């Protein structure tokens, strides 16, 4: 059965839909967590520390966090590998372009591939910047509030982050609705509702995430 799924275009889209929904669920939680930054360093740093102690005493220190990380890495890899293989196939299936060109499909649809690559690169930078601190001069482990303020005090930090979050909004807008079709839960009756949920999710995520750099830039968070 796993073989059937992985070898089929419909199956690979199912892998993309499920992994995408897992990441989407994570993003909603992540976005809500981020908003604690507006309640001061104490609350934000406390929240960040709590992420390591979730599930105690059943789970050991950081076990839950690592479990989430493993699931997310698996989801990212499954999503990206499926997308790469399907894209290769799609390009091979339509090798010659039409001479008469027309603008086709919506903006969100056309930007799925490039948007996905931008998001992939962003995730790498984001982890090196705020989790490991590798590309973050003056990174202080255990002081996430200060680290976030540092990042968004640089022009490039803001540009990278805001561009990525706009790409995320477009990606989620087409991706959520698309996942519903792939999993066969879309219908004519539900279509309007699904499109509305996709738009609202995309808007809330983008706005919620961008609120943090805007907060730092405007001095609300310092």
Partner 1 sequence: MKLTLRVWRQKNADADGTMSTYEVDGISPDMSFLEMLDTLNEELILRGEDPVAFDHDCREGICGACSLVINGDAHGPERTTTCQLHMRSFKDGDTIDVEPWRASAFPVIKDLVVDRSAFDRIIQAGGYITAPTGAAPEAHATPVPKPDADFAFEHAECIGCGACVAACPNGAAMLFTSAKINHLNVLPQGAPERETRVLDMVERMDEEGFGGCTLAGECATACPKGIPLMSITQMNKEWLRATRRVGKR
Residues numbered 50 to 109 that lie near partner 1 (CB under 8 A) are: 86, 89-90, 92-102, 104-106, 109
Residue closer to partner 1 by CB (options 5, 70) is 5
- For the chain, the distance separating the N- and C-terminal CA atoms, rounded to the nearest angstrom, is 53
Q: Does 112 bind partner 1 (CB under 8 A)?
A: yes
CB of 99 vs partner 1, minimal distance in Å: 6
Q: Which of 186, 195, 197, 199 binds partner 1 (CB under 8 A)?
A: 186
User: Quick check: 148 and 37 in contact, CB under 8 A?
Assistant: yes
Residue 12 or 165 having the CB closest to partner 1: 12
Select from 57, 58, 141, 188 the one that contacts partner 1 (CB under 8 A).
188
Give the residue with the Cβ less far from partner 1, 87 or 134: 87
Among the listed residues 70, 77, 159, 183, the single contact to partner 1 using CB under 8 A? 183
Nearer to partner 1, 106 or 196 (CB): 106
Whole-number CA gyration radius for the chain: 19
- Establish if 192 lies at the interface with partner 1 (CB under 8 A): no
Residue 119 C-beta: closest distance to partner 1, Å: 16
Task: Give pairs for 79-87: CB < 8 Å, separation 24+.
Answer: 79/15, 79/16, 79/19, 79/20, 79/23, 80/116, 80/120, 82/12, 82/13, 82/15, 82/16, 82/19, 83/16, 83/113, 83/116, 85/12, 86/9, 86/12, 86/13, 86/16, 87/113
Contact 136, 151 (CB under 8 A): yes
Summarize as ranges the residues that interact with partner 1 (CB under 8 A): 1, 4-5, 7-14, 86, 89-90, 92-102, 104-106, 109, 112, 174, 177-178, 180-188, 191
């Amino acid at each position: 059965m796993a073989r059937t799924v992985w070898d089929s275009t419909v199956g690979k889209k199912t892998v993309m839909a499920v992994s995408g929904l897992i990441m989407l669920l994570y993003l909603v939680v992540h976005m809500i967590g981020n908003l604690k930054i507006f309640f001061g360093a104490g609350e934000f740093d406390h929240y960040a520390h709590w992420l390591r102690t979730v599930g105690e005493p059943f789970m050991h220190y950081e076990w839950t966090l690592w479990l989430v990380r493993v699931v997310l890495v698996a989801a990212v890899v499954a999503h990206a590998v499926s997308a790469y293989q399907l894209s290769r196939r799609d390009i091979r299936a339509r090798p010659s372009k039409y001479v008469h060109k027309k603008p086709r499909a919506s903006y969100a649809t056309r930007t799925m591939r490039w948007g996905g690559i931008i998001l992939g690169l962003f995730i790498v930078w984001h982890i090196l910047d705020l989790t490991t601190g590798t590309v973050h001069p003056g990174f202080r482990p255990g002081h996430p509030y200060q680290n976030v303020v540092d990042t968004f005090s640089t022009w490039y930090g803001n540009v990278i982050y805001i561009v990525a979050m706009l790409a995320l909004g477009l990606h989620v807008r087409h991706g959520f609705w698309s996942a519903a079709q792939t999993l066969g839960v879309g219908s004519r009756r539900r279509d309007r509702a699904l499109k509305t949920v996709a738009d609202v999710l995309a808007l809330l995520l983008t706005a919620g995430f961008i609120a943090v750099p805007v907060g730092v830039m405007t001095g609300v968070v310092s």
